Amino acid sequence: MLQIHEITALRAQVADWKHQGLRVGFVPTMGNLHDGHFALLELAKSRCERVVSSIFVNPTQFGPNEDYARYPRTEQRDIDGLARNGCDVAFLPSADVMYPFGIKNYVQMHVPGITDILCGAHRPGHFNGVATVVARLFNMVQPDAAVFGRKDYQQLQVIRYMTREMSFPVEIIAAPTLREASGLAMSSRNQYLSDDERITALEVFRTLQFMRDACIAGISSDHIEQQAFERLEAKGFEVDYAEIRAEDLGRLARARGNARVALIAAKLGRTRLIDNLEFEIIS
């Protein structure tokens, strides 16, 4: 596996692959990799002949009181994991490569509407940072396809919107959420949880299942969301939201089709957990 730090070398390698007629996939990460990330890599490998994965902890998607400084950085372990799982290039840009004019004077990307709800309402500016760094990475890597996990459902929708709006020639591939045997969605932030908190955290997925089942049974979404909120609070969570939305994250009153998604974001101790569950209602 090649390790590349500069844009020129990366583009040269990708251009060489494309000259050979090879399809190039891309898996962007912030490091601290786990089996969920390696599942994204495996999906990219199944759809492309060559795969680039980036490791960059992006400062512009963290708010002033969030965990950028303590976000776990395990670069050598991550590089070893990428190599072991068949990655072709690890792209390891510095902050100066990603933001040559610094993070006070950088050009920002904003996706309207969809970034102002759910996590966007509770983390102002977060999705501007996500869209900005992904747009830059698309420009640097120039992949044919990029893989994102469904666990970050709103992020996936933001990237889909941006990719279509900006006419990026990149296929967005959505990967299923990978869960531990307990049902807990895999996340780099799970390591912040104490042993007791890990047990309590299972209530997030249980509550999503409750929301799905109640919605399919025809119970009103307002009632379901209130009950979900109360269930989580009773277990000690500080709940940002527990909502049911249409597939495109629009309100149910304007939903087309039967696809739905239940979404939860809640803090347990110092750790903010997000998860979702997609399902269909019966007409």
Cβ atoms 59, 95 nearer than 8 A: yes
Residue 37 among the catalytic residues? yes
Active site residue: 37, 110, 122, 126, which one? 37
Residue carrying the six token digits 């190039």: 24
Q: Kindly report the number of other CB atoms within 10 A of residue 19's CB atom.
A: 8
The secondary structure element, H or E, covering residue 283 is none
Rounded to the nearest 10 degrees, what angle do helices 35-47 and 75-84 cross at?
Answer: 40
Nearest partner of 85 among 55, 125, 44, 142, judged by Cα: 44
Cβ atoms 32, 74 nearer than 8 A: yes
Q: Strands of 271-280's sheet, edge to edge?
A: 238-246, 259-268, 271-280
Three-state secondary structure call for residue 254: helix
Residues with Cβ within 8 Å of 45's Cβ and at least 6 positions away in sequence, in order, are: 25, 51, 86
Question: Whole-angstrom Cα distance, residue 129 to residue 108?
Answer: 7
Cβ atoms 8, 18 nearer than 8 A: no
Active site residues: 37
